[in-house]
Structure 1
Amino acid sequence: MPTPAGNMLGSYLRDRRTRLDPATFGFTGGRRRTPGLRREEVAQRANISPTWYTWLEQGRGGAPSAEVLNRIAEGLMLTEPEREHLFMIGLGHLPEVHFKPTEGVTPRLQRVLDAFEISPAIVKNALWDVVAWNRAAAALLTDYSKLPPAERNILRLIFSNARVRAAQEDWYAMARFVVGAFRADAVRTGAAAEIGQFVEDMSAQSPEFREMWLANDVHAYGEGMKRLHHPELGVLDMEFSAFAVDGRPDLGMIVYNPMAEDAERIRGYIGSRALSE
Structure 2
Amino acid sequence: MKFLNVEDYKVTGKIELNKIPTVLKSDESSEDLEEKLDKLQAKLSKKQDAMYAHNKYSFLICLQGMDTSGKDSLIREVFKEFNPRGVVVHSYKTPNSTELEHDYLWRHYIALPEKGKFAVFNRTHYENVLVTRVHPEYILSENLPGVNKVEDITPKFWENRMEQIINFEKHISQNGTVVLKFYFHMSKEEQRLRLLKRLENEEDNWKFSTGDLKERALWDDYMKYYEEAINKTSTDFAPWFIIPSDDKEMARVIVAKIIWEELQKLTDIVEPQLDAKVKENIELYKEQLKG
Both proteins in one fold, TM over 0.5: no
TM-score, structure 1 normalization = 0.26
Structure with the greater alpha carbon radius of gyration: 1
TM-score, structure 2 normalization = 0.25
